[in-house]
Amino acid sequence: MTTRANRRPAPGRRSRLGQNFLVDYDVAKRIVAAAQLADADQVLEIGPGKGALTRILVHWVPKLLAVELDPELTNSLSHRFAERENLTVLNQDALDFDPARFFSDGYKIVANLPYYAATPIIRKFISARPRPHSLVVMVQKEVAANIAASPGDMSLLSVMVQLYGAPRILFSVPPRSFRPMPRVNSAVMRIEIHDLPAVPVNDPDSFIEFAAAGFRAPRKQLRNSLQLGLKADPDPVRVTLSATGIDGRRRPATLSLSEWADLYHAWHTISEATVTA
Ligand code: SAM
């Protein structure tokens, strides 16, 4: 087992690291089972903490990389599993971690994520290179519902995650399964990453920027929200909406992923035509 240390949290930071440790062994086993690990799978664990998942994962895979921000936890985990050559514990912020340095091909992510950083961590890894095959993550229950939402309850987060993968909520976990107990309920979800984006867009980053503009004012009607987000005049927005047949009075949350893709393509066609005219 190897350890790489490169970062120390600022004083007082530890209390803010979302350290609610899983103490229910049955839940830990269910999380690992949900990852459907095969003999050759390589796993990235984010935030191993005191090792509730690590101690199970380490028996299952030939290569396990655990990225932990807290240097004390990193050290104690390293000592505890010193005999395990298939485990590397890295002291790093998962948001700065570059998977290309450790994985050449697909890998699987398994994590009980810190609540405060769950959303940016998921956003980072669903579009990372190389991409993971799947993520099995425990997050706050509301965040899981937000990610797996259907049209009517969509948000920029659900559009983003569903562009890259298929999220499914697997089971809930109550506060009593952790120490200290969190104030919120948790849920375990699996996100299966697609080989190609769920809708045909050439440039996923630009598509997400467009959807972000569409969600600029999520409580407003789509036509107003888009106009604000795109900093556009009413006319091109009206023409874009009528080209797709999408009613501009709808709220952004009601659109499906393929409606966002239709709007995105129409907007680019219309903007390019205006520039060349
Ligand atoms: N996996 C352990 C478990 O199930 O008991 C710990 C889970 S705890 C909810 C989250 C862990 O993530 C903590 O150990 C915390 O120190 C670590 N952590 C917090 N922010 C992090 C970050 N940005 N990058 C990596 N690890 C982080």
Alpha helix (H) ranges present in 84-152?
118-126, 141-147
Does ligand 1 have an atom closer than 6 angstroms to the CB of 48? yes
Does ligand 1 have an atom closer than 6 angstroms to the CB of 240? no
Alpha helix (H) ranges present in the chain?
25-34, 54-57, 71-80, 118-126, 141-147, 156-164, 204-214, 222-230, 234-244, 257-276
Tell me what pLDDT residue 47 has. Answer: 98
Q: State the DSSP H helix or E strand holding residue 91, giving kind and residue range, or none if neither.
A: strand 87-91
Q: Helix 257-276 and helix 204-214: axis angle, to 10°?
A: 100
Task: Compute the Cα dihedral for 195, 158, 22, 129 and give only its sign.
Answer: positive
What is the residue-averaged pLDDT of the chain?
A: 93
Tell me what pLDDT residue 272 has. Answer: 80
Judge contact between 115 and 144, C-beta under 8 A: no
Closest ligand 1 atom to residue 97 Cα is 24
Minimum CA distance residue for ligand 1 atom 14: 49
Over the stretch 215-264, which tens digit does the pLDDT of each residue have? 999 999 999 999 999 999 999 999 999 999 999 999 999 999 999 999 99
Tell me what pLDDT residue 7 has. Answer: 45
Rounded to 5 degrees, what are φ and ψ at 43? -125, 140
| CA–CA distances in Å: residue 221 to residues 154, 176, 227, 252, 254 | 14, 41, 10, 7, 10
Predicted confidence (pLDDT) at residue 11 exceeds the cutoff of 90: no
CA 4/CA 90 separation, integer angstroms: 5
Predicted confidence (pLDDT) at residue 3 exceeds the cutoff of 80: no
Tell me what pLDDT residue 275 has. Answer: 63
Judge contact between 141 and 172, C-beta under 8 A: yes
Over the stretch 160-203, which tens digit does the pLDDT of each residue have? 999 999 999 999 999 999 999 999 999 999 999 999 999 999 99
Closest ligand 1 atom to residue 17 Cα is 19
Rounded to 5 degrees, what are φ and ψ at 270? -70, -40
Closest ligand 1 atom to residue 28 Cα is 4
Residue 132 DSSP code: P
Closest CA to 188 of 146, 155, 144, 149: 144
Rounded to 5 degrees, what are φ and ψ at 91? -90, 95
pLDDT more than 70, % of the chain? 94
Pocket test for ligand 1, best of 57, 69, 72 (most atoms within 8 A of CB): 69
CA 229/CA 209 separation, integer angstroms: 10
Predicted confidence (pLDDT) at residue 28 exceeds the cutoff of 50: yes
Tell me what pLDDT residue 219 has. Answer: 95
Split at pLDDT 50, 70, 90, the class of 277 is low
Does ligand 1 have an atom closer than 6 angstroms to the CB of 53? yes
Does ligand 1 have an atom closer than 6 angstroms to the CB of 209? no
Pocket test for ligand 1, best of 7, 21, 44, 183 (most atoms within 8 A of CB): 21
Does ligand 1 have an atom closer than 6 angstroms to the CB of 24? no
Split at pLDDT 50, 70, 90, the class of 104 is confident
What residues have CB less than 8 Å from 101, skipping those under 6 apart?
Answer: none
Split at pLDDT 50, 70, 90, the class of 148 is very high
Residue 117 DSSP code: G
State the distance from the centre of ligand 1 to the C-alpha of 7, rounded, in angstroms: 15
Q: Helix (H, G, I), strand (E, B), or coil: what is residue 166?
A: strand
Judge contact between 71 and 96, C-beta under 8 A: no
The structure's pTM equals 0.93
Split at pLDDT 50, 70, 90, the class of 212 is very high
Does ligand 1 have an atom closer than 6 angstroms to the CB of 173? no
Count how many residues are written for the chain: 277
CA 211 to chain centre: 17
Tell me what pLDDT residue 276 has. Answer: 62
pLDDT more than 90, % of the chain? 90
Tell me what pLDDT residue 255 has. Answer: 98
Judge contact between 189 and 160, C-beta under 8 A: no
Split at pLDDT 50, 70, 90, the class of 77 is very high
Task: Compute the Cα dihedral for 160, 164, 168, 169 and give only its sign.
Answer: negative
Pocket test for ligand 1, best of 6, 24, 32, 46 (most atoms within 8 A of CB): 46
State the distance from the centre of ligand 1 to the C-alpha of 112, rounded, in angstroms: 7
Tell me what pLDDT residue 168 has. Answer: 98
